[in-house]
Amino acid sequence: MVVSKYIQTSRSTDFPSFGVDVTRDIVRAVVGEPSDKNFAKRVSGSDALVVNLNILPKDLPAKLLDFLAAYKDTAYKTNFDWIDHLSIVLDKDVQDALDVELIKELNSGSFGSTHLAMPEPLDWQDIDSFKITGTRAAEYDELDLEEYFKGLPAPALFTMDALKTRKVSVKFGRNSDYESRWSLYDCLVSEQSDKGELFVLIEGRWFAVSKSLIKQVDDFARLLTPAATTLPAALAGEHEDAYNTRVANADPKLVNLDKKILRAAGASSGIEAADLMSTSGEFIHVKRKSRSSTLSHLFAQGSVSATTLVGDLTFRANLRKAIEDAAKPRDPAPWLDLVPSTAAINRGRMSVSYVVIADSAKAGVEWLPFFSRLNLMQHGKQLLNLGVHVSLERVNAS
């Protein structure tokens, strides 16, 4: 899932004030003041440098040499080395090889590492619907790759020319006509590998993911232990709710809290505390792996639920009632003891287990897409800082 943000402070300030997460945010463009005031008053841009200067034409060559020297300077690594976590791919051969892998994935009908997203932020309140070339009169409430493929005449085989010439159009509430905005290629977000290197396609450009970031993310994922509760394989075609019901019915130490949406104090939306909860204090969150955004929701659900449980008494009261209902006709005391009404939660007894139903032959942690692993690290660290144990479990489908 791509989240586009434009952040502006009310006055000049240090970089941390922008709240950028240096392990997962991509800085697309910046405006700021250089430390050397003789360089320029203010600089901005992304691929191109934009400056406003009062300068004589005869002094321009020397100034351009200053800009070139600044471009080659590596002093930025002292405080901004994370910028290199993602670097744009300029090698045409590498770009072509990655495009070939992308086409193979799309034509296979498997979208585990590719989805659609708007390549620029637009106000959702102004958007009525989308259209994509190739699906005749089909309209979409949001950009969804699977829905788009369902609407294509079979067989739908893609070429790079098709991706770059097919248009994505937007109809705004203020207008009855569709406005052609982007190519289909520009709207693809994809994760592909080439010669052992990892790359991601964002807004029509390929970026290389640094090995240092990959190592940091994978090292974290490898440290996570399996779930404490023994979980069976999922049945073929079994949805999460059916799986949760079957597992809870077979294990007297579990209560099924799936789809029990609970409110916290002053919250406008509800939170699912867990899908399954054990008498040992394990909050188990289950999702079938379909797309990266599904897994993003899974990892966020675990950290939000635990954080709210620790600090919000209204949420706890609602959870206690949900436990009483789910435990019937059993005695709910073993589960209620873990969620005291007013006393502090014993975080040492509490654990969050992420369970992903996924058929994959990949070893190690690579059965999870890289940016899903990155998302897992973000939420996992929040839980560990909270004093809560974190687990990761893959469940195969039989």
Residue 7 lies in a domain: no
pLDDT value of residue 292: 58
Distance CA 239, CA 245 (A): 10
Sign of CA dihedral 226, 227, 233, 236: negative
Burial 194-217 (b: 16+ CB within 10 A, else e): beeebbbbbbeebbbbbeebbeeb
The whole-number pLDDT of residue 237 equals 83
Alpha-carbon dihedral sign for residues 72, 77, 83, 87? positive
Residue 119 C-beta-side C-alpha neighbours within 13 Å: 18
Is residue 2 very low, low, confident or very high in pLDDT (cuts 50, 70, 90)? low
Return the exposure string of 296-329: e unless at least 16 CB atoms fall within 10 Å of the residue's CB, then b: bebbebbbbbbbbbbebeebbbbbbebbeebbee
pTM: 0.77
Does 378 reside within a domain? Answer: yes
Query: For a pLDDT cut of 90, what percent of the chain falls above it?
Result: 53
Decide the pairing of beta strands 167-172 and 178-183.
antiparallel
Of the candidates 164, 190, 209, which is a domain's last residue? 209
Residue 119 has pLDDT above 70, yes or no: yes
- R_g (Cα) of the chain, nearest Å: 25
Q: What is the pLDDT of residue 146?
A: 85
Are 243 and 354 part of one and the same domain?
A: yes
pLDDT band at 1 (very low <50, low <70, confident <90, very high): low
Whether 2 is in a domain gets the answer no
The more confidently predicted of residues 158 and 391 is 391
Lowest mean pLDDT among 187-201, 219-233, 354-368: 354-368
Tell me: do 290 and 381 sit in the same domain.
yes
Least confident of 24-38, 211-225, 229-243, 296-310: 24-38
Number of domains present in the structure of the chain: 3
Express each pLDDT in 202-216 by its tens digit: 889 999 999 988 999
Q: Is residue 3 assigned to a domain?
A: no
276 and 372, same domain (yes or no)? yes
Q: Do 182 and 316 fall within a single domain?
A: no
Q: Residues 228, 391: contact at Cβ < 8 Å?
A: yes
What does the pLDDT look like over 17-37, one tens digit per residue?
A: 777 776 667 777 788 888 888
Flag whether 346 is in a domain.
Answer: yes
Sequence letter at residue 258: D
- Lowest mean pLDDT of 23-27, 56-60, 99-103, 279-283, name the range: 23-27
Q: Which residue has the tokens 């073993």?
A: 334
Backbone angles phi, psi at 316, to 5 degrees: -60, -45
Write out the residue range of the structural domain in which residue 69 sits. Answer: 15-85
The pLDDT value given to residue 23:
63
Could you say which of 85, 109, 141 is where a domain stops?
Answer: 85
Angle subtended at Cα 285 by Cα 381 and Cα 111, rounded to the nearest 5 degrees: 90
Q: What pLDDT sits at residue 29?
A: 78
Confidence of residue 290 (pLDDT cuts 50, 70, 90): low
One domain for residues 123 and 258: no
Task: Count CB neighbours of 229 within 10 A.
Answer: 20
H or E element in which residue 86 lies: strand 86-88
Instruction: Provide mean pLDDT across the span 127-135.
Output: 89
50 shares its domain with 115: no
The verdict on 76 and 20 lying in the same domain is yes
What is residue 137's DSSP assignment?
T
240 in the same domain as 385 = yes
The upper half-sphere exposure of residue 368, i.e. CA atoms within 13 Å in the direction of its Cβ, equals 30
